[in-house]
Structure 1
Amino acid sequence: MGEFRQTALVFVSTLALSGLGLTLVAQAQNSPSPFSKKGTQAWEKGAAAPASAPATSQSGYSYPNVATTQPQYQSRSTQQPAAESGAYQPSGNLAAPAASAPTKAYPSTYNYSLPSTNESAPISYPVQPASVAASGGTPYPSTYKGPAPVQTQHAAPSQASGTYSPGASYDYPSYQRHGAQAAPSQPALRPASQASHASGAYYPGRATQPHMMSQTYGAQTAQGQPYPPQGQPYPNQSRPNQGPMIQPRGPRTFAQKMGLDNVAFLYEGYVRSGAAATYHDPNDLDHGWREDFILDGSLRAEVSAITPGGLEYGIAGKVRGQYDQYRRGFGGLVGDCPAGVAGCNSVNVGGTDYVLRGHTSRFYASGVDDAKDFEAQLEGAHLFLRSGYGDVTLGRDDGAAYLFSLGAPTLLNVGASNNSVDYTGLDAVKTLNDASGFSEKITYTSPRLLGDNVGVGIQFGASYALDAEACGVDYCVRGNNDEPAGVLGADLEDIAEFGIALDRKFANGLSVEATGTYARGSEQSGLAVFDDLESYGLALELGYGDFILGGSYLASNNALANGDYKAMDIGLTWQPSRLGFTVGYGHAEDDNVGLTSDQAVVGVSYDWRENVRFSTGLQYVNRDVNVNNLGLVSGQNEDATSVFVEGRFTF
């Protein structure tokens, strides 16, 4: 009996579930559920013709120019005429896309591809046209009962009932290749047979790039299928409804292939001058007040050609000159600590004592002062190649570590560090990692990477120099045969430099930039007092509104076994209008010559013209150096204060 009851219960439950299932299936025919569409789809049969007036399509779109009466549609199907550009093949019954919405969805993808050329290639962008995204309902059928509506231009309605199923994909030409452009709000859909493109790469200053997506590509059905070609050809078309096409041209000459028909000449430079009244304390040999004048100028020029493929190549040069009675590059004679005296860094070679000169700081403690009033030099002469993959230079140019170095910001000709001019003659702070100066080298710098994808821009560079010998205004490294008598420096070869920069700008206007540099060189003299060069630098700069705050740090072994050089700086500028304000501080230590230096600058600048600036301010330097006092080394304090006025003209 128990088994019978169980069997009966199972049987009744099965009947109940079956009945409930049939009821749900019957109700599903009118249910809005996306899983209940069991009826015949639009792509499986032709659309029924209205008896007296055109019926509104299920998508909610009404044909324009509706008359009160229209001829009765015939029962026969009309074959679409053949296109002039080739036989037109009707699409027939299209395969139904996967249903994911209560209404019938458009096909999942529309694709077209540009013709393959050597100059450019299309890039796919998953852009969803607004006109398709807003529409729904049943797509227009590809076969009509009666003649198809004659419409030269037909687009899907911008507003319609129903829900669109996302996922359609469209391929468009690259916008980034030709500069920043806004993508069209309603791009036309084109089949592969109508694809066309503008030939040749676009560069600023050349012919205007054609806006491809603004052209008309012919009438289309809601599925993106073209109607047969109708009407006259559009401008720049060789055949009707084939899209815009560039007129054919003959083969390029060798000069055109090399970009010699697109040559550019660029020059830039500056002239800076200043005058100061400087006071030195009594410990200085030139103590008291004195006047100081400086004049500094630079001219850089380049000639380049741009190939049709986008490469820019050329030659560049730079000339620099300066009048400043206290400088011959950064560094020079500091204090008085002769070779052979206990406590002074020196070496005996072949029975002769030499004081040592640090490679990075360029300071030495005894001997003849090699400063000179005027210096002029060719500081740049190199070939370059620029492309979307980065820049390459070959010849006399700055190294990667120098290029990626930052210092404290300043609006003046002088600052808390890295000064090109020096009114006091005591400047000792440098945070630029110029391991090889402008000596001959090969350098690569990358383009800015990843900034638009991860929010942080990244750029890096590397360089290699055979040696470090070059002598100019800010950097002067010569062979030991050209050093002052009794001075010996490291003999460096194979200098490798690396640099990296990270930057980010936030929505609130805050900008952040950080850099890191590293340099290494091989010492060739073999003397134990020298060592392979190693130096690295770090820098950080913050910008917000009219303010810029920055600081940097440099550490180097000076290519010496015992004589490290370290320097740091920090500065702030504020320029709310033509007026600008600068304040900065720098600190340096050089173990080779026993130097400790602190210096500061404060000043006001005024931009009279876009390229003309006048400024005035105060420069102060205080430092301790080693001096010889009857065979004993002791420290001596030196300080100087300069009140200056200066001007700068850039072009």
Structure 2
Amino acid sequence: MREARPDPAPGGSRRRDICVTIRRRVNPARAILLDPNAPSPVLYRPVRGDGAIGGAASMRPARDAIFTAVACALLAAAPTFSQDLSSITNSSSTGSGVERIGPFSPDVSLAVDALAAAGDVDAAETGPYADLDLDLELEAVTRGGLRWGAAFGVRARRGDGRRGFARPVGDCPVTVAGCPAIGGRTPAGAATGLHAAPVLDAGDPRIALDEAAAFVKGGWGEIRIGRGPGAAALEAAPGPGAFRLARADGPLIDATGLALADTTDRLSGAAAKITARTRRLAGFRASASWTPEADWCGVDVCRLDGRDAVATPAVENVREVGVSFDRRFRSSGRRWTLSAGYAAGEVAGPLASAFADPWSVSARASLEAGPAAIGVSWLKTNDGFEDGDYEAWAASASIERGAWLAALEFAAGDSDFLDAEGWSVQLGASRLFESGLLLGVGLARAEQTAPVAGPGGIVGADADAVIGFVETGWRF
């Protein structure tokens, strides 16, 4: 899920010379990484799509009423405009030269990437892989300066077989004594979706509308209602890296099949929510969000409840807060980016008694000094278990030389519930051409230790993979 698109930095007016703005990032990896005006990848990208989560039915009418009231308030604050087709389709120029379609100024961004890997490719799907990330924002401005509109994000992917981050870790089926089991099924983490046995077939190529939200922006900040990332993910800027798909921390594509680290808080995923966000003042900004039902299964985040093969609870009433600091100090020229987030939800549904209410906490920091950047990140969650914490941490460094960006990344994760641990390291470089084409090559190694059931009982089996990969993309 792509985060809500931030306002332009002071003094940096967003220029729109044509109806559909084409924004070409000077360096996509660096721009996504440390530019506060660039959207975070969180979430936050996906294909989601299962039905509503089971839970306390008595709460749903009240929640629906709240959503309806907020939506009506947003619409009431918005100016009315003609429904005549010509007023919508004909663009007109204002005194400032900004082009519009009806009352709206559209802003479009597109990233298309592909990845091919060779070596110990152990993912459920062997590739080649591809990913599309398309975002559209329609914005209008009232005479009083209030900005309002809607944002949409479409994600499509032919991936490595995972459902978001969810995948089997090891091979410990419920038919073996001592392997995790709830109600005769393999349990999966409420936050990560990780599970102990390969009971789900590989996820098919997927497409979904991961962002669909109405917004109002003023001098005080912004309010959104609809699908999108939660507050914790919204304020988390990703660490330095040279690629969009291949990462050591939370990769969109994991050709090794062994990546076990993701430091992005995805408890609420892209499910419909209400989000409030302040302006950035003296480098600081804060967000808060409320998600009635975290029931969305998409490309980047997929809630597994409702699937017969795994046991996992429905998650409701997710409350999140996120704070961030982003500032370049003129005296040194260095730029610091810091963030922290917290999320907590409630389990529901027929399996609720077998799980604990999930929570997660995360933090990250990045420093940019000239062409070099370094970053660290950390996340911890109980993953919906009383005694099954999941923890991940990551560090990366990059250096830019002309059109080239090189990066070294390391990430590690462990799950107490699965009794598994693993780490990944990646080295690579990418180049952005004037045409918007991105081309890069890299090497990655991953190791994992996880329970495997065999004739001699359950043992901690080691697995490792080394791959070389090529990633290419196109930026609009």
Give me the TM-score of the superposition, normalised by structure 2.
0.76
Residue 262 (structure 1) shift:
4.4
Distance 1:544 1:309 in 2: 40
Alignment of 1:598-609 (within 5 A): 598-609=423-434
In structure 2, the CA distance between the partners of 1:631 and 1:515, relative to structure 1 (3 Å rule), is: same
1:476-519 Cα offsets, whole Å, 9 max, x none, are 00432xx142x111221100111000233221111111100000
* 327-336 or 465-474, which deviates more: 327-336
The answer to whether the 8 A contact 2:123-2:257 is kept is no
Question: Shift in Å at residue 255 of structure 1?
Answer: 4.4
1:402 and 2:402 are equivalent in the alignment: no
| Inter-partner Cα distance in structure 2 for 1:638 and 1:472 | 28
1:351-370 superposed matches below 5 A:
353-370=184-201
CA separation of 1:608 and 1:491: change in aligned 2, threshold 3 A: same
In the alignment, is residue 376 of structure 1 matched against residue 199 of structure 2? no
Deviation at 1:434, TM superposition (A): 1.0
Q: Is 1:444 aligned with 2:276?
A: yes
Deviation at 1:564, TM superposition (A): 1.1
Q: What's the offset of the Cα at 1:277?
A: 0.6
2:437 aligned residue: 612
* Consecutive unaligned residues in structure 2, runs of 5 or more: 1-9, 18-78, 83-99
1:538 is aligned to: 363
Please name the residue that 1:35 is paired with. Answer: none
Deviation string 1:265-310 (CA, Å, 9 cap, x unpaired) is 1111210012111226xxx799xxx963111001111222111111
Say if 1:313 and 1:386, in contact at 8 Å, map to a contact too. Answer: yes
SS in 1 for 2:128: strand
Say whether 1:493 aligns with 2:319.
no
More divergent stretch after superposition (377-386 vs 565-574): 377-386
Which residue pairs with 2:372 in the alignment?
Answer: 547
Cα pair 2:229 2:268 within 8 Å, conserved: yes
What is the aligned partner in structure 2 of residue 324 from structure 1?
159
- 1:151-186 deviations in whole A, cap 9, x for unaligned? xxxxxxxxxxxxxxxxxxxxxxxxxxxx759xxxxx
> Is 1:301 the equivalent of 2:126?
no
AA matched with 1:437? G
Q: In the alignment, which of 395, 412, 417 is matched to residue 592 of structure 1?
A: 417
Q: Residue 170 of structure 1 aligns with which residue?
A: none
Letter in 2 for 1:268: S
Task: For residue 336 of structure 1, give the secondary structure of its aligned residue in structure 2.
Answer: coil
* Equivalent of 1:276 in 117, 133, 136: 117
SS at structure 1 position matched to 2:233:
helix
Query: Cα offset for 1:205?
Result: 7.0
Aligned to 1:337: 172
Using the alignment, how far apart are the partners of 1:586 and 1:618 within structure 2?
Answer: 14
Match for 2:341 among 517, 532, 538?
A: 517
Please tell me whether the aligned partners of residues 568 and 588 of structure 1 are also in contact (alpha carbons under 8 angstroms): yes
Q: Deviations along 1:527-546, whole A, 9 cap, x unmatched?
A: 44311111000101001000
For residue 547 of structure 1, report the CA deviation from its aligned partner: 0.7
For CA contacts below 8 A with separation 6 or more, give which structure has more relative contact order. 2
Question: Quick one: distance in 2 between partners of 1:407 and 1:265?
Answer: 26
Would you say the 8 A contact 2:123–2:254 is kept in 1? no
Q: Closer, same or farther in 2 for the Cα pair 1:502/1:203, shift >3 Å?
A: closer
Residue aligned with 2:299, SS: coil
For 1:595 and 1:378, the matched residues in 2 are separated by: 33
- The verdict on how the C-alpha distance between 1:527 and 1:316 changes in structure 2, with shifts beyond 3 A counting, is closer
Alignment of 1:640-651 (within 5 A): 640-651=465-476
Instruction: Quote the residue 1:504 is aligned against.
Output: 327
Distance 1:362 1:601 in 2: 24
- Equivalent residue number for residue 386 of structure 1: 217
1:238-277 alpha-carbon deviations (Å, 9 max, x no partner): xxxxxxxxxxxxxxx9649xx9964211111210012111
User: How far did 1:443 drift?
Assistant: 0.5
Which residue identity lines up with residue 488 of structure 1 in the other structure? A
- Structure (1 or 2) with the larger CA radius of gyration: 1
Which amino acid letter does the alignment assign opposite residue 466 of structure 1? P
The alignment partner of 2:120 has SS state of strand
Q: Is the 8 A contact 1:277 1:292 kept in 2?
A: no
Whole-angstrom distance in 2 between the partners of 1:424 and 1:431: 18
Q: What letter matches 2:257 in structure 1?
A: G
1:196-216 CA-partner distances (Å, limit 9, x unpaired): xxxxxx99779xxxxxxxxxx
Q: Is contact 1:529-1:562 (8 Å) kept?
A: no
RMSD of aligned Cα (Å): 2.6
CA separation of 1:261/1:340 partners in 2, compared to 1, >3 Å: closer, same or farther? closer
- Distance in 1 (CA, whole Å) between partners of 2:421 and 2:356 is 23
Identical-residue share of aligned pairs (%): 28
In structure 2, C-alpha distance between the alignment counterparts of 1:285 and 1:583, rounded to whole Å: 22
Q: Residue 315 of structure 1: CA displacement?
A: 1.6
Q: Distance in 2 between matches of 1:468 and 1:620?
A: 33
How far the C-alpha of 1:337 sits from its partner, in A, is 1.3
For residues 35-59 of structure 1, what are the alpha-carbon distances to aligned partners after superposition, in whole Å with 9 as ceiling and x for unaligned? xxxxxxxxxxxxxxxxxxxxxxxxx
1:471 maps to 297
Matched residue, 2:265:
433
Query: Does residue 1:264 correspond to 2:88, yes or no?
Result: no
1:217-240 deviations in whole A, cap 9, x for unaligned? xxxxxxxxxxxxxxxxxxxxxxxx
Q: Tell me the distance in 2 between the aligned counterparts of 1:557 and 1:638.
A: 25
How far apart in 1 are the matches of 2:199 and 2:411? 27
3-state DSSP of counterpart to 2:232? helix
The answer (yes or no) to whether the contact 1:401–1:435 under 8 Å persists in 2 is no
Query: What does the per-residue CA deviation read over 1:429-479, in whole Å, with 9 as the maximum and x for residues that have no partner?
Result: 100001111001011111101x1xxxxx11000000111111111110043
Name the one with the larger strand percent.
2
One-letter amino acid of the counterpart of residue 117, structure 2: A
Distance 1:581 1:466 in 2: 41
Aligned counterparts of 1:254 and 1:638: Cα–Cα separation in 2: 61
Whole-angstrom distance in 1 between the partners of 2:401 and 2:14? 35
**Alpha-carbon distance in 2 for matches of 1:479, 1:632:** 29
Q: Any stretches of 5+ residues in structure 1 without a counterpart? A: 1-178, 182-201, 207-252, 452-456
In 2: Cα distance, 1:320 partner to 1:397 partner: 12
Are the equivalent residues in 2 in contact too, given 1:331–1:428 (CA < 8 A)? Answer: no
**Residue identity matched to 2:171:** D
Residue 476 of structure 1: SS of its match in structure 2? Answer: coil
Shift of 1:634: 0.9
Structure 1's 628 and 269: CA in aligned 2 closer, same or farther, altered over 3 A?
A: same
Q: Distance in 2 between matches of 1:296 and 1:260?
A: 29
Which residue identity lines up with residue 137 of structure 2 in the other structure?
A: E
Question: How big is the shift at 1:631?
Answer: 7.0
What is the SS of the residue equivalent to 1:512?
strand
The AA in structure 1 aligned to 2:215 is F
Q: How many residues align?
A: 386
